[in-house]
Structure 1
């Protein structure tokens, strides 16, 4: 028996059943769900950073995107609203297109 104690995707119960296994699950409350999504986000960033291939990197980016979608709902935002916030920040501070790396700022 293996213990995981982590947030999983919705189809995991079905996939476990198809594999002849039985999982024990519970439904998270709002605060715990947000906390677990944040853990999942950190885990996904770590896995993206450690990706050894373009395919693995793309899969981890897709996982991060799914987590961001869930977090957007937690914060009662639509993807459109999130994108508007992103665009406003880009308008004020720019994007990352120039690949600028700040070395130092002198007073």
Structure 2
């Protein structure tokens, strides 16, 4: 059965598909298309992490980290820059430790 995907997949997915006795077609994206595909994949993986069961959460967060690492590499962003910005934002705006839910403002 033919099924369309048109999305970024991990490097070994075509190999895994072929090993399963199935066929697939892949295309190498341009740099701009790759950057956009990574951003799209970021949303996809974040949604999967948001909907994950407790036992699948680690796997889904690992997938999310993989996309983040790939996006950082593609955009030449150092992890240390992200961690420094995270610390700055935590210092300025706080973390989520107090579990506040904002109900309203006026």
Q: Which TM class, normalised by the smaller chain length?
A: 0.7 to 0.9
1:87 maps to 87
Indicate the residue corresponding to 1:28 in structure 2: 29
Q: TM-score, normalised by structure 2?
A: 0.86
Answering whether residue 61 of structure 2 is matched by residue 61 of structure 1, we say yes
Question: 3-state SS of the aligned residue for 1:54?
Answer: coil
CA distance in 1, matches of 2:105, 2:99: 17
TM-score, normalised relative to structure 1: 0.86
CA distance in 1, matches of 2:49, 2:27: 28
Say how many residue pairs are matched.
105
Q: Once the 2 structures are TM-superposed, how far is the Cα of residue 103 of structure 1 from its aligned partner? A: 2.2
Deviation per CA, 1:14-56, whole angstroms, max 9, x where unpaired? 11121122221111112111211121121122222222x2122
Q: Which runs of 5+ in 2 are unaligned?
A: none
Q: Which moved more, 1:41-50 or 1:25-34?
A: 41-50
What is the aligned partner in structure 2 of residue 45 from structure 1? 46
Give the secondary-structure state (helix, strand or coil) at the position aligned to 2:80. Answer: helix
SS at match of 1:14: helix
Structure 1 unmatched ranges of 5 or more: none
User: What whole-Å deviation, never above 9, does each CA across 1:51-101 have from its counterpart, x for those lacking one?
Assistant: 2x2122221111111111111123211112211111111111111111112
Partners of 1:104 and 1:75 in 2: CA distance: 37
